Amino acid sequence: HKVLVLHGPNLNLLGQREPAIYGSETLADIDQRLRNKALELSLQVESFQSNSEGELLDALHRGMREGIAGCIFNPGAYTHYSIALRDAVAAVPFPVIEVHLSNIYTREPFRSHSVIAPVAKGQISGFGAVGYELALYALHAQLG
């Protein structure tokens, strides 16, 4: 089974970006951790980061064409307002798990609303980098 790990805007800055909120691990660290976990679970992961909404849409569409088993998606700030990404998540046949490093419900009020959540399989928010691993376990359990 192939799982797509999609990282949205500004997540390329992880490690340097507001470490008190997002932690000191880099995106490369997170992707490496996921590859290790995936090996244990006999899953294949492919990671992709983009700051552009269109490229994230294209990655979801590509996943659909390739028949991937699921997607772990941190849409970054697009979480809060991208109807286009929400529509793509609703359109794809595979489960999408929404992940946030920070707990979006304890921060500024505008972060408490996710337009992605109603069409995601589930959401993991507030556990830092570990959240991605939890999402991988969740997908693994879904796939049976």
Which token pair is 4?
């797509």
Which token pair is 37?
């976990």
Active site residue 100: yes
47 scored as a contact of ligand DQA (CB under 6 A): no
Choose one: 26-34, 41-49, 69-77, 86-94; the region binding ligand DQA (CB under 6 A). 69-77
Dist. CA 14–CA 90, nearest whole Å: 28
Choose one: 30-38, 56-64, 70-78, 87-95; the region binding ligand DQA (CB under 6 A). 70-78
Grouping H, G, I as helix, E, B as strand and the rest as coil, residue 4 is strand
Residue 16: CB atoms within 10 A of its CB come to 10
Which residue, 44 or 128, has its beta carbon nearer to ligand DQA? 128
Q: Which of residues 91-130 bind ligand DQA (CB under 6 A)?
A: 100-102, 104, 111
